[in-house]
Amino acid sequence: MYSSDNSRLRTVSRGLAGAFALAIATALPAALDARPFKDIICLGDSLSDTGRFYEATGGTQPPLPYSPGRFSNGPVWNEHLAEMLDRELNPDLQYAFGGSLTNDLNYNSIPPHFILPGFEQQVDEVIADGHRGKVDPTALYTIWIGANDFFAWLGSGGQNPGAMIAGGVNNTVEGIAELAAAGARYFVVFNLPDLGKTPAATMLGPQAGALISALCAAYNDLLADQLDLLEWDHRLRIVRVDAFGLINDMVANPADYGFTNVTSPALYHLPAADPDTYLFWDPVHPTTAAHEYVAEEALEELRAEFPSLRPKKAAAAENARPQAVGKSSFPVPHNN
């Protein structure tokens, strides 16, 4: 979807990935290509949360003018993707939870009385909701997790980034492996977006932003290597979405996406601002307009892996967009 040096590298890597997928295709059910998955099961943090954190707080957080149940001003990427595919997300199959780390912790938990799930609990929930320890082998499982590990690490003083990166990647891969052992075969996995480009990072100064960007890149490199091994060991099909490259292209070429502001949160400029012209809704979360581009990127990668997918015409995608409403004096959530 976007044009950059990264996209040229991705073209080469797709060719290699295609050859790799062909080599293991005999170990996978052929029926999926003729009859694409009907259910989309999402795990992750606030970038994919469609209302779980909102429900846990009695419908109070995040507050208006956030779109109810979303850490944005409208639908998030998985809702856009479902719309593009002319499908509905089953709310009972949406496990992403705002604040989740890759382990069993949640950035928004307030011990000992308000404990929220991390990614590990989400994986356990998916398996528990299956049938006798088995999950749907024809569903598509989406994973976008890891940003809150960075925020928690920064909040604790930012020591030993190598341990944080290794731990986050290991937790993510172990979670996917557990789902695979329970029968899951088809995954969409996002790498970390470039958190160094978020307003929360840039307000710390250029050196801090550059360091965070470099650490995100290191995290993504390790994640990519581990996913390659996991895909082969468990005979999986893992569609990769390059969130890091996408956000960098948005920042470098904002006009290509209809953005006029890629550095400041739209939330801070209401009511005068048009959020559709902003990349960021708050200091760390994208606007629904940016989420729509994420969904388009995911759709492009999915269609490369599953050519039988038939997306709905893009013109219809605008019809179901929840609108943000009035302001609130509640504090702004700054975490994923």
Task: Please state, in angstroms and as integers, the Cα–Cα distance from residue 155 to each residue in 68, 128, 158, 172, 284, following that order.
Answer: 27, 33, 7, 21, 15
**Taking a C-beta distance cutoff of 8 angstroms, is the pair 250, 198 a contact?**
no
How much is the pLDDT for 15? 41
Q: In the chain, what are the domains? A: 5-308 (3.40.50.1110)
Each residue's pLDDT tens digit, 239-252:
999 999 999 999 99
Which are the contacts of 189, defined by CB distance < 8 A and separation ≥ 6?
142, 143, 144, 172, 176, 223, 227, 238, 239, 240, 241
The C-alpha atoms of residue 280 and residue 264 are separated, in whole angstroms, by 7
Torsion angle of the four alpha carbons 113, 117, 121, 127, in this order, in degrees rounded to the nearest 10: 110
In this predicted structure, what is the pLDDT of residue 326?
29
CB 184 within 8 A of CB 137: yes
Report residue 99 as tokens. 């604040």
Query: Per the omega criterion (within 30 degrees of 0), is the bond before 65 cis?
Result: yes
Could you give the CA distance from residue 270 to residue 278 in angstroms, rounded to a whole number? 12
> pLDDT per position in the chain (336 positions), as tens?
444 444 433 333 334 344 334 343 334 444 444 446 879 999 999 999 999 999 999 999 999 999 999 999 999 999 999 999 988 899 999 999 999 999 999 999 998 889 999 999 999 999 999 999 999 999 999 999 999 999 999 999 999 999 999 999 999 999 999 999 999 999 999 999 999 999 999 999 999 999 999 999 999 999 999 999 999 999 999 999 999 999 999 999 999 999 999 999 999 999 999 999 999 999 999 999 999 999 999 999 999 999 888 776 543 444 444 444 322 222 334 456
pLDDT digits (tens, 9 = 90+) for 212-247: 999 999 999 999 999 999 999 999 999 999 999 999
DSSP 3-state of 99: coil
CA 141, CA 93: separation in Å to the nearest integer?
Answer: 10
